[in-house]
Amino acid sequence: MPHITLHRLVLTGAAATLLAIASGGLVTATMSGAACPGWPFCTDGLELHAGPAAWIAAGHRIAVLLAALLALLGAVFAWRAPALEPWARLPLLLAPLLGMLQTGLGALIVQLRLFGAADVWHLALALLVLACQVVPLAVLAQPRAETGRLGGRAARETRRLRSLTWWTAGAAGVLTLALSARAAAAPVASAATLLPANTFGALAMAGVLATGTFWQTWRARRGDRLLVGMAALLAALIAAESLALLLPPAAAGFGVGLGALVWSTALVLAVLAARRPAPVAVPAPRAESRPERPSLVSDYLSLTKPRVISLLLVTTLAAMYITEAGAPSLWLVFWTMVGGYLAAGGAGAINCAFDRDIDINMGRTSRRPVPSGRIAPRSAFIFGLVLSLLAVVVLFVFTTPLAALFAGLGVIYYALFYTRWLKRSTWQNIIIGGGAGAIPPLVGWTAVTGNLSLAAVVLFAIIFYWTPPHFWALALVKQKDYARAGVPMLPVVAGEVETRWQILVYSALMVALTGLLTVIGAMGWVYLVAAALLGAVFMRYAWNTWRRGDQPSIWGLYKYSLLYLALLFAAMALDRAIL
């Protein structure tokens, strides 16, 4: 029974916070904040014949007061219910503290007349308060299901879904902040908000992630109507949000309220995906017990190594958003991604054609289309060549000549210099070959700016020094394969101890290099803090690999290195967006 009361209270509190955010968006859009110069009450501005601006500002303060009281009441209930699940109790206790911070910031905005300039923090704190109410609400409504041990495929699909839902929630939060920036009435105020002003980019990102979440929910939990329905609702809300962009900036303040609703829905979906029972076995795509031969299309697609490319494209995309030229247009991003995929895919296909003698001797690669005889090496080579030429043409026509040049160099570097020579001749193969994987940020950077700067070179260096720890971790695990295939990887020619030692050294160099972006003024303190934290975790993994050298440590380093690079570049984009 007490939980029912608490549930209703939190639900009302969340609705009040949502109302406060929506009214705040309206205040920003109409620039009504200045109509109430006093704080906390609006006595100076509010009189019988006050204009609509004063009433909007006063209404916002009343909504905030109501939301704060309900958040406080929720915290009192949570304090008196120690048996409450931590995921419900802790956010509820945190909500009024964040609310106080937010209200205090609101007071500063009014007193110091920082209308517009401090809106980002004001809204971000309000979104956090909302999260501290929505997450407990979902936790209380959905007890954690006792799921037995999941099968490999089911566990993988569930992990993927959970990860996607949290990424989508993050994108929804960024989208709301971006909408608030657009809602600022005057260009001066818009610039002063310091928000990610590329609303279209934020919307596209949220839309792509929400679509991916819906698709993954359908794949992994199609029997769970609630989950599928929530994922569909989220996608529909984001689609509705795109209509808000058609409104003039002054009216787009309403979009902030809708954005907060998207944020809430995404959070609820993330909690539900984590707590609702997962099916023990996910239905396989096909019922035949005998493995079916992959289609020709999927074979050609696999030649492009899509999994490898995804990380390369993340670094390309992030580089595009951190240049001094500001946020790029969506079309430029689209064509750069297309060109980047074609270039990396072409290089991958040529690599498959050249490496057939190596791939056939390695368990990891022996089932690829070329070594298994499903695609002739000549066909793979021609396919790779066509993709590479297309990449250069696409980038040349739609971006800049320099981006096309770097993409072409990247293909030659990887497909010829690395694959045909370095890989087969020296244990330095991965170190020098790392340059090929470091080119995508240069493509992204030059696609936006048309020239190369020191910051882009530092991005190149970071990935260059990241490559040895990443690939040597894999080589340590697969060293027998490499020995059988005759590839002089460091663990094969120098042993495990030497490889683990060099992993540690290269990791330290890479982590140190990440700080250089702040030194040269390309990044701010947000990035520096994120890089330091992510780097500290990287060094812990590298240290464990050096000291212990067991399989869990090595696999841990390999997996984290993938996540690390994606998060590091995301931190760069975030730093650029908010500073």
Partner 1 sequence: MLPHLLFWLIVVVFVAGQALLVRAAWRLRRPQVQSPDRVPRSDPRGDLGWTLITAAATAVMFYAAYATLP
> Is the Cβ of residue 90 or residue 416 nearer to partner 1 in the bound state?
416
DSSP state of 247: S
Q: How far is the CB of 95 from partner 1 (least distance, A)?
A: 35
> Is the Cβ of residue 170 or residue 437 nearer to partner 1 in the bound state?
437
Longest dimension (CA), the chain: 87
> Is the Cβ of residue 35 or residue 473 nearer to partner 1 in the bound state?
473
Q: How far is the CB of 486 from partner 1 (least distance, A)?
A: 4
> Is the Cβ of residue 306 or residue 488 nearer to partner 1 in the bound state?
488
User: How far from each other are the two terminal CA atoms of the chain, in whole angstroms?
Assistant: 47
> Is the Cβ of residue 43 or residue 451 nearer to partner 1 in the bound state?
451
Q: How far is the CB of 178 from partner 1 (least distance, A)?
A: 30
> Is the Cβ of residue 309 or residue 438 nearer to partner 1 in the bound state?
438
> Is the Cβ of residue 138 or residue 513 nearer to partner 1 in the bound state?
513
- 299 touches 243 (CB < 8 A): no
Q: Could you give the CA distance from residue 108 to residue 239 in angstroms, rounded to a whole number? A: 35
Q: How far is the CB of 267 from partner 1 (least distance, A)?
A: 36
What would the 3-class secondary structure string for 147-188 be? CCCCCHHHHHHHHHHHHHHHHHHHHHHHHHHHHHHHHCCCHH
Q: How far is the CB of 398 from partner 1 (least distance, A)?
A: 30
- 392 touches 408 (CB < 8 A): yes
Q: How far is CA 24 from CA 21, 29, 172, 243, 257, in A?
A: 5, 9, 18, 20, 8
Q: Could you give the CA distance from residue 464 to residue 458 in angstroms, rounded to a whole number? A: 10
Q: What length does the chain have?
A: 579
Q: Could you give the CA distance from residue 174 to residue 98 in angstroms, rounded to a whole number? A: 18
* Six token digits for residue 48: 């019988």
Which chain residues interact with partner 1 by CB under 8 A? 424-428, 431-432, 454, 457-458, 461, 483-484, 486-488, 492-495, 498, 501-502, 505-506, 508-509, 512-513, 515-516, 518-521
Q: How far is the CB of 462 from partner 1 (least distance, A)?
A: 11
Q: How far is the CB of 271 from partner 1 (least distance, A)?
A: 40
Q: Could you give the CA distance from residue 391 to residue 385 in angstroms, rounded to a whole number? A: 10
Q: How far is the CB of 283 from partner 1 (least distance, A)?
A: 44
Q: How far is CA 250 from CA 51, 167, 245, 489, in A?
A: 17, 29, 11, 61
Q: Could you give the CA distance from residue 29 to residue 165 in angstroms, rounded to a whole number? A: 30
Which amino acid is present at 396?
A: F
CB-CB neighbours of 72 under 10 Å: 16
Measured at the alpha carbon of residue 301, what is the angle toward residues 311 and 390, in degrees to the nearest 5? 80
Q: How far is the CB of 424 from partner 1 (least distance, A)?
A: 7
Q: How far is the CB of 572 from partner 1 (least distance, A)?
A: 16
What 3-state class would DSSP assign to 142? coil
> Is the Cβ of residue 191 or residue 457 nearer to partner 1 in the bound state?
457
> Is the Cβ of residue 224 or residue 359 nearer to partner 1 in the bound state?
359
> Is the Cβ of residue 177 or residue 463 nearer to partner 1 in the bound state?
463
* Six token digits for residue 176: 């709301």
